[in-house]
């Protein structure tokens, strides 16, 4: 189970790390240098666990929306197996009852602290899916194999904790380019690699090779500094939802704010005066749905320096703002034959150059979005002053960073559209 390290250049430490513990460099490390390697035999997955054969045979009955059920069953079995080779690894896990994901916060606290961020809605979907998955697939499987799953692991609470653990600590091997059409690889647990904390400006990266997984430095890491992996390009709302923490402002360069697609429709409806205008607006919206540019549950995603859903937002503003006659023509051509003009490019820097009608609709959409939060930007800025911030609970601090980062992006949009 031991991982290979190069002259013990790294150490697990509780000192000098951003979370409960992390990994630090014992000596200066150059970019491209190997920090440690994990042999494939040490990975814990549905294939390497002691019931891998059974999970493979029963694969058809273990299909789920998440695709995580086989790994979760592997963990449930190994956790209670008296002689599991993974016991030393489990001893390094955080205490399951103390995970900080918002799914474990009281509902009132979750709604109060994260209203408007999109997190409460995501958590409610998770909890419903976890419950459904547990009672329809997982529990029946464990009851059908009582010799492999003791009564102590047949628990919805434990299952929920393991889902959060897999959400936060598992890895997913990327598909090769020629495998793009295949289903994504199943998640797996990677001892040692899952000790590393995350930063958008990370200094290490996990590389996959046939015999092992290698953690390699991507920039100079001075002696005593923490080693950070990346969990991907994650906005703060995604970090708190999946991992239970947020990066303090302004460190997360991948942060985003969402404008719900239906909010733009609502903003456009505010500008209609008579029933005929409202009907035409709904016709335009239905056409955008047909073009698969919008949906009732979708969102336009705005980053600090770019609009991540540029095509969708550009097309939506164009269709909702164009004169009626032009829309008829556009619709007859099924949205084709329209030349994209440079001044219609929806980069952040180009927003002030957009047509006045587009800017007006975008501004109204931002104002409606800001109304979904319980507090305004000034309140958040007051809370961020050092004296007050240090008195907040850990959850209050994390939720504040999520809200503040989103509102800063939205207020930047307000300035650009005014």
- Indicate whether 198 pLDDT > 50: yes
Write out the E strands in 168-297.
Answer: 170-172, 187-189, 197-198, 204-208, 212-217, 226-229, 256-260
Count Cβ atoms within 10 A of the Cβ of residue 10 and give its class: 0-12 exposed, 13-18 middle, 19 or more buried: buried
- The answer on pLDDT for 101 being more than 60 is yes
- CA distances, 74 to each of 86, 174, 381 (Å): 11, 21, 46
Domain locations along the chain: 10-43+190-243, 51-171, 257-417
Fold of 257-417: set domain protein methyltransferase, domain 2 (3.90.1420)
Mean pLDDT over residues 170-177, rounded? 90
For the chain, the average pLDDT equals: 93
Domain 10-43+190-243 has CATH 1.10.260.40: no
* Rounded-to-integer distance, Cα 215 and Cα 199, Å: 15
Q: Does residue 383 have a pLDDT over 90? A: yes
Instruction: Give pLDDT, residue 98.
Output: 94
Q: Is the pLDDT of residue 139 over 50?
A: yes
> Where would I find the H helices in 231-333?
236-243, 261-270, 275-290, 310-321, 324-332
CATH classification (class only), 51-171: alpha beta
The tokens for 340 are 């994209």
Q: Which two tokens stand for residue 355?
A: 């047509």
In whole angstroms, what is the distance from residue 347 CA to residue 302 CA?
10
Query: Which long-range CB contacts under 8 A does 6-11 form with residues at least 24 apart?
Result: 6/33, 6/34, 6/35, 6/36, 9/33, 9/35, 9/36, 10/35, 10/36, 10/227
Which residue matches tokens 């592997």? 74
Q: Which residue, 290, 339, 303, 304, is CA-closest to 318?
A: 339
Q: What is the pLDDT of residues 14-46, one digit of tens each?
A: 877 777 789 999 999 999 999 999 999 999 999
Residue 339 corresponds to which tokens in the numbers above?
């030349």
DSSP 361-403: HHHHHHHHHHTTSSS-HHHHHHHHSHHHHTTS-HHHHHHHHHH
Which SS3 state, helix, strand or coil, does residue 214 take? strand
The answer to whether 284 touches 325, Cβ cutoff 8 Å, is no
CB 13 within 8 A of CB 22: yes
Question: For residues 41-74, b (16+ Cβ closer than 10 Å) or e, as one string?
Answer: ebbbbbbbbebeebbeebeeebeeeeebbbbbbb
202-220 mean pLDDT: 97
Return the pLDDT at 5. Answer: 43
Q: Quote helix, strand, coil % in the chain, to nearest 5.
A: 50, 15, 40
The structure's pTM equals: 0.92
Q: Is the peptide bond before 250 cis (omega within 30 degrees of 0)?
A: yes
Q: In the chain, pLDDT over 70 holds for what percent of residues?
A: 95
């Amino acid at each position: 189970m031991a991982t290979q390290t190069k002259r013990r250049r790294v150490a697990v430490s509780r000192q000098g790390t951003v979370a409960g513990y992390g990994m630090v460099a014992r000596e200066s490390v150059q970019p491209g240098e190997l920090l440690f390697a994990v042999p494939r035999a040490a990975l814990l997955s549905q294939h390497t666990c002691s019931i891998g054969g059974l999970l493979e045979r029963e694969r058809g009955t273990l299909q789920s929306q998440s695709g995580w059920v086989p790994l979760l069953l592997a963990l449930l079995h190994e956790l209670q197996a008296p002689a599991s080779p993974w016991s030393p690894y489990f001893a390094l896990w955080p205490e399951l009852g103390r995970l900080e994901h918002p799914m474990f916060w009281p509902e009132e606290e979750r709604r109060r602290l994260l209203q408007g961020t999109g997190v409460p809605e995501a958590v409610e979907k998770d909890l419903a899916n976890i419950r459904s998955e547990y009672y329809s697939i997982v529990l029946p499987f464990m009851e059908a194999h009582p010799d492999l799953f003791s009564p102590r692991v047949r628990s919805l609470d434990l299952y929920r904790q393991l889902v959060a653990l897999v959400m936060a600590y598992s890895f997913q091997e990327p598909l090769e380019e020629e495998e793009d059409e295949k289903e994504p690889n199943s998640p797996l647990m990677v001892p040692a690699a899952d000790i590393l904390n995350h930063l958008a400006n990370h200094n290490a990266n996990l590389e996959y090779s046939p015999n092992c997984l290698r953690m390699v430095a991507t920039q100079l890491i001075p002696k005593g500094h923490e080693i950070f992996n990346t969990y991907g390009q994650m906005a703060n709302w995604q970090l708190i939802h999946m991992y239970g923490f947020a990066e303090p402002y302004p460190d997360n360069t991948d942060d985003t704010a969402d404008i719900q697609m239906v909010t733009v429709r609502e903003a456009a409806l505010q500008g209609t005066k008579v029933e005929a205008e409202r009907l035409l607006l709904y016709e335009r919206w239905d056409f955008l749905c047909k073009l698969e540019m919008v949906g009732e549950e979708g969102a336009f995603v705005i980053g600090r320096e770019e609009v991540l859903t540029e095509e969708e937002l550009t097309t939506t503003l164009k269709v909702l703002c164009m004169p009626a006659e032009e829309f008829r023509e556009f619709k007859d051509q099924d949205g084709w034959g329209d030349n994209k003009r440079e001044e219609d490019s929806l980069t952040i820097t180009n927003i002030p150059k957009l047509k006045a009608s587009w800017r007006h609709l975008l501004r109204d959409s931002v104002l409606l979005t800001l109304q979904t939060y319980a507090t305004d930007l000034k309140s958040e800025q007051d809370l961020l002053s050092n004296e007050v911030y240090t008195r907040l609970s850990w959850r209050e601090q994390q939720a504040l960073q999520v809200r503040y980062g989103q509102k800063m992006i939205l207020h930047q949009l307000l300035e650009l559209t005014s």
